[in-house]
Amino acid sequence: MDKKNIEEGSALNIDFEKRGGLIPAVVQDMRNGLILMLAYVNQEALAETLESGMATFWSTSRNELWTKGKTSGDYLKIKKIFVDCDQDALVYVVEPQGKGACHTKDPESGDSRLSCFYRLVDMESKKQLAHIKDIDKSGS
């Protein structure tokens, strides 16, 4: 398919091959726009997501189909799926069904963290990370 059709057309033609079979899917919370996680999707994972309505990925560590929440209960219900200009990246807009999207736990509550992006680069040192929680506490 030519560039013009990929970019301006109305046919879903994800370019999995361009990225070696796996493309990134960004997961965004429908409630507030928060970016919850980023994982990878192959053709099978996208088909399963569209079929089941629950965010499904290809686990690059376990090399298997991975429906988020299947073990934790933290399912991510699909509301919308956006496709980018060159059809090699996705945004899953979701309604979280559990406590959060991250496999890590908040040390205080013991619950799954809502987002995997809970740390910020310190732009002064450019070497350190600040935990969002600590920033929130300091009121800055």
Residue among 97 and 135 whose Cβ is closer to a second copy: 135
Query: How far apart, in whole angstroms, are the C-alpha atoms of residue 103 and residue 115?
Result: 9
What separation, in Å, do the N-terminal and C-terminal C-alpha atoms of the chain show?
49
* Ramachandran region, residue 21 (left: φ > 0; alpha: ψ -120 to 50; beta: rest): left
Which positions from 56 through 85 interact with a second copy, judged by CB under 8 A?
A: 78, 80-85
Q: Which of 89, 96, 100, 114 binds a second copy (CB under 8 A)?
A: 89
Q: Give me the least distance between CB of 70 and a second copy, in Å please.
A: 19
Q: Are 22 and 42 in contact (CB under 8 A)?
A: yes
Across the chain, which distance is largest between two alpha carbons, in Å? Answer: 52
Q: x/- binding map, residues 6-35, to a second copy, per CB under 8 A?
A: -xxxxxx-----------x-x-x---xxxx
Binding site for a second copy (CB under 8 A): 7-12, 24, 26, 28, 32-35, 37-38, 50, 78, 80-86, 89, 91, 102-104, 107, 113, 116-123, 126-131
